Structure 1
């Protein structure tokens, strides 16, 4: 909401790929200003994100936001897609903890104890005060 409100005060133009309001010109062709190497060597603003100049107007073309949001799959959908596969996930609460999971917990506690013991052994010890050298007259 803040980005959309700030757009009307901004002098730069930020558009989306395949946006209907992309600048068009019958005489000029858009020139790509950034050095990004995309999968499309043509660098058309209709299908490639980047920074372009068309005449005197400079504008940025970005990918749509949904492309950056990763899709997540639930255990139920996964079992529907792969009914014959034996799948275990971190979020799965169906199964009781296995011996491997219990062994990992013990291993992690052991490693933590070793690291704490190493930290204690690395502490500097107390040094005895040395008598200051006396000068002989």
Structure 2
């Protein structure tokens, strides 16, 4: 009976070691893949915002805002930029943990857009410049997403 107990304990230990090894190997593979993807994106000149994932919905809203502004619809542009603010705020919990620095950079650009479009005396040139800067920052992420 004692030999059977020893053999059972040995099999349990082997099983635990195998599970730990499998989990460790999987974690190692996933982490090295993520690092390789980050390195590849950096090698081709991807901006940090690419690490935030798919930002195409923010680019669409920003482009819509610019299109309205370009046609002289200041009120429509101001209303549409509110959609950008709402969507960005709702996505903060999902995006910021991925890359806090990239999120903060884009957040600053969005704040600049909001400030320009909500200014007491709007300057269409400054509004357009802020929107184009934001579109440029979102552009790569929209392709990479």
What is the TM-score of this pair, normalised by structure 1?
Answer: 0.19
Structure whose residues are more often helix by fraction: 2
Structure whose residues are more often strand by fraction: 1
- Greater relative CO (CA pairs within 8 A, separation 6+): 2
Q: Indicate the structure (1 or 2) with the bigger Cα radius of gyration.
A: 1
What is the TM-score of this pair, normalised by structure 2?
Answer: 0.18
